[in-house]
Amino acid sequence: MTYPGLHPGARPVVAACFRQTRRRLAYVRQQEQQLARWRGFRREVAARTCARLRRETRLQLHAMRQLLHTLFD
């Protein structure tokens, strides 16, 4: 993903933000895979937390993309 109007010095910062957000999504996916080991209330709480984190992280990625498109396309 390239943004021609983006200052060259800002590119590493933007890339780092995207990388960190994608790492968080990977972490949430890993936690969801471990849910099969848990039972009952603990599993339900963990499942809801993972769903919330996944939703928030995807919204964050979407917002970052929209902002960059708006500013630099």
Predicted local confidence at residue 23, as pLDDT: 92
pLDDT at 1 over 70: no
CA angle 62, 43, 23 (to 5 degrees): 30
Confidence category of residue 2, pLDDT binned at 50, 70, 90 = low
pLDDT, tens digit (0-9, with 9 covering 90-100), for 13-55: 888 888 999 999 999 999 989 988 889 999 999 999 999 999 9
Give the pLDDT confidence score for residue 6 in this predicted structure: 74
- pLDDT number for residue 47: 93
